[in-house]
Amino acid sequence: MPKLSRAKLSTTVAAENFKYLNSLVKLGKASSLAEAVDEAIEHLRRTENRRRLARATAQYFDSLSAEALSEERSIAESLRDAATGIDFDRDL
C-alpha cells in the first residue's frame, strides 16, 4: 500500500477484531496494526461502493421503458458475442 498521510486514531475494539487485525500482521498481509486497520476499512469501503453501484444499476434498468430495455438487451448480446473467445487476463 502506498504511503498515505496519517491521522492519529486512539480507540478500543472488540477482542476478536483485535485478534483478526493482529493475524493480518502476523501473516504478512499488513506491515503494522495501523495498516491492517486501513486494509479492513478499505475492504469495507469497496464493498459498500459495489453495493451502491449494484443498487444504482438495478434502479437504472428498472426505470427503463420496454423499448429501451429491449435495446439494452440487444447491446448486451452484441457485446457478449463480440467478447467471446477473448481472454481478458491475457489479451488486455
Query: What's the pLDDT at 32?
Result: 95
Q: Which three cell numbers stand for residue 45?
A: 469501503
pLDDT, one tens digit per residue, over 31-73 is 999 999 999 999 999 999 999 999 999 999 999 999 999 999 9
pLDDT, average across residues 8-37:
95
The pLDDT assigned to 92 comes to 61
3-state secondary structure the chain: CCCCCCCCCCCCCCHHHHHHHHHHHHCCCCCCHHHHHHHHHHHHHHHHHHHHHHHHHHHHHHHCCHHHHHHHHHHHHHHHHHHCCCCHHHHC
Average pLDDT over residues 3-17: 90
